[in-house]
Amino acid sequence: MDSSPDRGDARWAPRFFLIWGGQAFSLLGSSLVQFALVWWMTRETGSATVLATATLVALLPQIVLGPFIGPLVDRLERRRIMIVSDSAIALATGVLMLLFAFDRVELWHVFAILAVRSLGGAFHGPAMAASTSLLVPERHLARVGGLNQTLHGVMNIVSPPLGALLVMALPTHGVLAIDLATAALAVVPLLFIRIPAPPRRADAAGSAGGAPGYLHDLKAGLAYVVKWPGLFAVILLAMLLNFLIAPAGSLMPILVTGSFGKGALELAWTETLMGAGVISGGLILSAWGGFRRRIATSLSGIVGIGAGIFLMGFAPASAFPLLLAGCFLTGFAQVFANGPLNAIFQSAIDKDMQGRVFSLLGAGATAMMPLSLLAAGPISDLLGIRTWYLAGGVVCVAVTLVATTIPAIMKIEENGHGKETPELPGGETDPGPSRVEAAARADAGA
């Protein structure tokens, strides 16, 4: 039976947006917690090493455990995964709130809670992304992607000043209490709204002819990605671009103060213009939906990101508004790169494989952040801060133009839904109807 919301279900929007709205409030609460904890660590220690360690602690669970979480997202009920994840994150925050309230908190407590929250996010993110394709008609996925980008743009603008006001008006445990309330808003709709189960086709039989086990699902997910050239190439492209783009935000304070001789106010303007670009692009994409071929929209957005980053590095010291224009363009183009790409994944990838694919993508993209920062710092110190922006922008555009010449990437949408015939070991191809079955047979040594 087809569980797609395109058929026989005209009420997808109320159900989806009740869940989406709860998640939006939860995202706000998480942003406020992040601001409050960063501010507390800055105030208590004044150590850049502590802040860098906190960032690493928040990234590692998703990088290391992400690929192993994906099979669980596909095996278990995704609604329950989100309920448990949101509840566990809230519980961890509640423990930290009590430690702050009784003045018993230590730095290692904060690190531990950050790790727990990151682990919950590693489950929640793929589960929500994989559930979206089960709730939203395929023709609206790009628009929903635009709304998601708009939401993140709003959060980037609203969260820092709101967080600053709250840490001045409330003790730290008071700010953390807000996250408990927003988590409840995320959980309550999930208690009453059913998310359809993905159609799980006849995978290869597990050991002794039983149902496939966890390890089988893990290997089948890896084989699924590797044996689909277009998907594998797009994931590698996303990782490479994340490596090029990620340092742009981290190096911005040095670019603003060192190259332009500006201060905190001008730095704030760069973040505001970036957020304004994201919001503008998100509103346009949610109304328009992008080109008919979504990969064309995504690649156009990536070219725009490269142009924006290049413009930031190219702007003369006397032309600070040109830097702001580059920030706006980067934020604006980011929406058209990410929104349609997520829609492609949600529509083209078999629904019972999406948890594994999104987990792999998230782990790979997240891993690029610390790696790129390790590379960008020494290169910028040696060759100048503008070097990374100029080279990163040029390479970003060049790689994207090369991608347009690769048929596996350009035809990823046409080759979705089992239309591609991945090559199996030994050079044979599988004519069957499902890449899930092809991956499983490859894994079984067919």
**Lowest mean pLDDT segment, chosen from 77-86, 372-381, 409-418:** 409-418
| Residue carrying the six token digits 């939860």 | 26
- The residues pairing with 429 across neighbouring beta strands, listed in sequence order, are 423
How far CA 145 is from CA of 132, 148, 180, 298, in Å, comes to: 10, 5, 26, 11
Q: What is the largest CA-CA distance in the chain?
A: 72
Q: pLDDT tens digits, residue range 27-43? A: 999 989 988 998 898 88
Three-state DSSP class for 271?
helix
Q: What is the mean pLDDT of residues 160-165?
A: 84
Contact 223, 424 (CB under 8 A): no
Contact 310, 389 (CB under 8 A): yes
Q: What is the mean pLDDT of residues 124-151?
A: 90
pLDDT computed for residue 156 by the predictor: 80
| Residue carrying the six token digits 């109320």 | 14
Residue type, 229: P
In this prediction the pTM is 0.79
| Residue carrying the six token digits 């929500």 | 128
pLDDT computed for residue 312 by the predictor: 95
pLDDT computed for residue 427 by the predictor: 41
User: Can you tell me the distance from the alpha carbon of 159 to that of 35, in angstroms, rounded to the nearest whole number?
Assistant: 8
Instruction: Say if residue 431's pLDDT is above 60.
Output: no
CATH topology of domain 9-137+155-198: Growth Hormone; Chain: A; (1.20.1250)
Q: Which long-range contacts (CB under 8 A, 24 or more apart) does 97-106 make?
A: 97/173, 97/176, 97/177, 97/180, 98/173, 100/171, 100/172, 100/173, 100/176, 101/171, 101/173
pLDDT computed for residue 10 by the predictor: 59
Instruction: Say if residue 430's pLDDT is above 50.
Output: no
Instruction: Say if residue 2's pLDDT is above 80.
Output: no
Q: What is the mean pLDDT of residues 342-365?
A: 90
Banded pLDDT at 437 (limits 50, 70, 90): very low
Most confident of 131-135, 139-143, 240-244, 436-440: 131-135
Banded pLDDT at 378 (limits 50, 70, 90): confident
pLDDT computed for residue 210 by the predictor: 53
Start-end of CATH 1.20.1250.20 domains in the chain: 9-137+155-198, 213-446
Instruction: Say if residue 269's pLDDT is above 60.
Output: yes
Q: What is the mean pLDDT of residues 348-363?
A: 90
Banded pLDDT at 160 (limits 50, 70, 90): confident
Residue type, 294: R
Contact 99, 113 (CB under 8 A): no
CA atoms within 13 A on the CB side of 306: 21
Instruction: Say if residue 417's pLDDT is above 60.
Output: no
Residue type, 205: A
Q: Pseudo-torsion of CA 61, 66, 71, 74, nearest 10°?
A: 100
Q: What is the mean pLDDT of the chain?
A: 84
Token pair of 393 as six digits: 């922008």
Contact 62, 366 (CB under 8 A): yes
Q: pLDDT tens digits, residue range 11-26? A: 888 999 999 999 999 9
Q: Which CATH architecture has domain 213-446?
A: Up-down Bundle (1.20)
Radius of gyration in angstroms for the set of CA atoms belonging to the chain, rounded to a whole number: 22
pLDDT computed for residue 394 by the predictor: 95
Pick from 370, 358, 361, 363: nearest CA to 62: 363
Residue type, 230: G
